[in-house]
């Protein structure tokens, strides 16, 4: 799922397309350390990207888009597997 949102740091410009994962992404501890070294910009003085999340914000008329087909094209079957996806607004890294 994706939605248009803002940067998680001041001035919070609304220029970001956020991606909401519906399944965990598994990475190694080494990969996590590398991600935590990323910087917000190319300037050495810029802050690290680690922990750059915000609390859940109101939707404010934003559209959340997905390519998951929720419309059933066949009649309901009691043996049919039914799944739903719930997007979370935080990304959790498991290592």
The answer to whether position 24 is within a domain reads yes
The tens digit of pLDDT for each residue in 24-80 reads 889 899 998 888 787 766 666 667 666 666 677 788 887 877 776 666 666 655 555
Report the candidate in 89, 81, 84, 59 with the shortest Cα–Cα distance to residue 69: 84
Instruction: Kindly state whether residue 48 falls inside one of the protein's structural domains.
Output: yes
pLDDT for residue 22 is more than 50: yes
**Mean pLDDT, rounded, for 16-31:** 85
Is 36 among the domain residues? yes
Per DSSP, 37 falls in state H
pTM recorded for the entire structure = 0.47
Structure-token match 């994706």, residue found: 2
Residue 78 resides in a domain: no
- Total of domains in the chain: 1
Q: Is residue 54 a part of any domain in this protein?
A: yes
Structure tokens at 13: 């410009």
Question: Quick check: is 8 in a domain?
Answer: yes
pLDDT of 4 reads 85
- Virtual CA dihedral for 29, 19, 86, 64, nearest 10 degrees? 170
The pLDDT confidence band at residue 85, using thresholds 50, 70 and 90, is: low
């Amino acid at each position: 799922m994706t939605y248009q949102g803002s940067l998680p740091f001041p001035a919070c410009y609304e220029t970001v397309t956020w991606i909401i994962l519906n399944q965990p992404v598994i990475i190694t501890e080494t990969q996590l350390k590398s991600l935590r070294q990323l910087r917000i910009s190319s300037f050495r003085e810029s802050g690290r990207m680690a922990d750059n999340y915000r609390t859940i914000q109101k939707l404010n008329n934003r559209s959340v888009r997905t390519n998951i087909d929720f419309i059933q094209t066949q009649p309901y079957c009691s043996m049919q597997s039914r799944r739903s996806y719930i997007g979370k607004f935080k990304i959790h890294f498991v290592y």
